[in-house]
């Protein structure tokens, strides 16, 4: 497949993902965003030849990584469906946050498949007395259990989509705010919109106006939603990428 054909394929699949998670038809995704999605999709695809690393870590063989996602999928699908949030959102948030390593810990402290901080976990785990400050992979708490972690992530995403909206242009903003925090995303979006009142209120506007955003947003959060789309395209079309799996969202039992 040529680069041009890859872009066309990714554009069609990305619009389909946007339509599914936003429960409505999607506007075309800008070429600049498709290019970023392609970069991440190419990066994932290159891992099909990586020798399995053993254990649970970022950068492992592509088949191994998405097999891990398929094993966690029943917890995520059930929890997100119960909240009325499309389960693909949860499946690929966990892919970006931890590559479905259930007790991964960030150097800055967030823990588990959905990389919850202690304070955010306290808000969304029910009950929350199993969320313990100072927990780690060697001394885990509820954040390291797929089922309660999935329920908490569904609760958090329900709140974020309540703030940003549930349409195909709005859900990517909610996904971006999972990473950057509600305040960080909203302030950067406002900066972009202030530069041109005709711009749409969506995450792709942030990509098109990257030079106007904070350095932290450019360095990290800018990449989050395109990477989410790349992971979702692969996970929902695994055989197109040489994986011996069904779409990850179909592993519901």
pTM reported for the whole predicted model? 0.91
pLDDT in tens, 68-81: 999 999 999 999 99
At 178-209, the pLDDT tens digits run 986 655 666 666 665 565 555 566 777 777 76
Report phi then psi at 158, rounded to 5: -60, -40
Give pairs for 238-247: CB < 8 Å, separation 24+: 238/66, 240/9, 241/44, 241/45, 241/48, 241/62, 242/48, 242/62, 243/48, 243/62, 243/63, 243/66, 244/63, 245/63, 245/66, 245/67, 245/70, 246/70
HEC profile of 83-138: HCCCHHHHHHHHHHHHCCCCCCECCCCCECCCCECHHHHHHHCCCCCCCCCCCECC
Best CA proximity match to 91, nearest among 43, 157, 12: 157
Quick one: pLDDT at residue 214? 67
Predicted confidence at residue 202, as pLDDT, reads 73
- Give the domains, in start order, of the chain with CATH numbers: 3-250 (1.10.530.10)
Q: Which residues pair with 116 in a beta bridge?
A: 111
Q: What is the pLDDT of residues 16-66, one digit of tens each?
A: 999 999 978 777 888 989 999 999 999 999 999 999 998 999 999 999 999
In whole angstroms, give the CA distance from residue 143 to residue 149: 5
């Amino acid at each position: 497949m040529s680069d041009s054909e890859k872009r066309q394929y990714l554009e069609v699949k990305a619009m389909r993902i946007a339509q599914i998670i936003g429960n409505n038809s999607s506007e075309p995704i800008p070429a600049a965003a498709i290019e970023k999605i392609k970069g991440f999709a190419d990066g994932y695809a290159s891992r099909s030849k990586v020798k399995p690393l053993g254990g649970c870590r970022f950068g492992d063989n592509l088949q191994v990584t998405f097999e891990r996602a398929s094993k966690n999928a029943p917890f995520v699908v059930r929890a997100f469906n119960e909240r009325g949030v499309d389960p693909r959102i949860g499946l690929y948030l966990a892919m970006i946050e931890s590559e479905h390593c259930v007790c991964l810990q960030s150097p800055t402290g967030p823990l588990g498949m959905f990389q919850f901080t202690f304070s955010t976990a306290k808000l969304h785990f029910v009950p929350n007395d199993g969320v313990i400050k100072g927990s780690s992979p060697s001394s885990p708490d509820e954040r390291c259990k797929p089922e309660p972690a999935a329920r908490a992530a569904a609760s958090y995403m329900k709140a974020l989509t309540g703030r940003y909206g549930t349409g195909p242009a709005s859900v990517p903003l909610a996904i971006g705010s999972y990473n950057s925090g509600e305040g960080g995303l909203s302030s950067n979006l406002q900066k972009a919109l202030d530069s041109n009142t005709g711009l749409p209120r969506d995450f792709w506007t942030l990509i098109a106006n990257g030079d106007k955003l904070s350095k932290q947003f450019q360095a990290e959060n800018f990449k989050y939603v395109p990477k989410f789309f790349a992971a979702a395209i692969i996970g929902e079309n695994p055989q197109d990428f040489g994986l011996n799996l069904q779409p990850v969202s179909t592993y519901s039992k």
